[in-house]
Amino acid sequence: MSQSVFFAHANGFPSATYGKLFAALAPDYQVQHLEQHGHDPRFPVDDNWQNLVDELIAHLEAWQQPVWGVGHSLGGVLHYHAALRRPDLYRGVVMLDSPLLTRVDQLVIRAAKRFGFIDRITPAGRTVGRREAFTDLAEARSYFAGKTLFNRFDPECLDAYVQHGLRPAEHGLRLRFDPATEINIYRSVPHTSPGRPQQLQVPLALVRGRHSRVVMAHHARLVNRVPQGEYHSLPGGHMFPLERPQDTARLLRELFSRWQGQDMERSA
């Protein structure tokens, strides 16, 4: 019987972009996900992402058994906060290049919001005013392939982003992920947490891209405070799940298998 994984995507990247990763987990793991976080009017983006966590919890509650929570960047933080609030919904959490914020990090973010420089310490500043419209898929693929963020993508993942990250518009194609929502998510990055790392009641793995500039050494050290916490790294940068989907799937399989074995030993 396949096990349930609930995946949460990075900001601006609809879940279908990760199709190659999901396929690599099948058939042993059934991957569920929201198409796009932050776009349900019942859960508008708010400060510290509390509504986004509520949105995630609402969907997890629909399942009849706990899930493996896997999230990339934004998605990892959402799972971490949800697991602190509702550990009963989880078997374990994997954060793919999602930082565990220290108290100092939180103070800096709070100050950045208050004094108006949040766009300088998050990608919001680079997102404002970026290109949103394209004539066709070929033009869009050529454009994104030339951007630093995308130039190491697995070719199939880049194709998936172009296919699922755009929608038909009056004069061609536009970004499917609402740019204003994406910017708002960056500007409301949490400076609070529903609990401390040592309070997490489920296994947690933080997986960093070795060349990431998002997860730093002090974030990785914070994993040591999690009772069942562990740290790993994979080749690539912040976008490694879309650069190396097969390697990411292999690590996820290893983690889930080991955690499941430990679960069985404890219940024996």
Q: Which tens digits make up the pLDDT trace of 222-244?
A: 999 999 999 999 999 999 999 99
The parts of the chain modelled with pLDDT lower than 50 are none
- 3-class SS at 217? helix
Q: How far apart are CA 11 and CA 178, in angstroms?
A: 10
Predicted pLDDT of residue 64: 82
Cα 162 to its chain centre, rounded Å, is 19
Tokens of 245: 């989907």
Predicted pLDDT of residue 268: 62
Read off the pTM: 0.97
Predicted pLDDT of residue 1: 67
DSSP3 helix / strand / coil % (the chain, rounded to 5): 50, 15, 35
Tokens of 177: 């992920």
- Contact in structure between 212 and 97 (CB atoms under 8 Å): yes
Q: Which tens digits make up the pLDDT trace of 180-203?
A: 999 999 999 999 999 999 999 999
Domains and CATH numbers, the chain: 3-267 (3.40.50.1820)
Tokens of 66: 């706990």
Q: Alpha carbon of 176 to those of 61, 142, 160, 195: distances in Å?
A: 27, 18, 13, 33
- Contact in structure between 125 and 234 (CB atoms under 8 Å): no
Q: 3-class secondary structure for 75-121?
A: HHHHHHHHHHHCHHHEEEEEEECCCCCCHHHHHHHHHHHHHCCHHHH
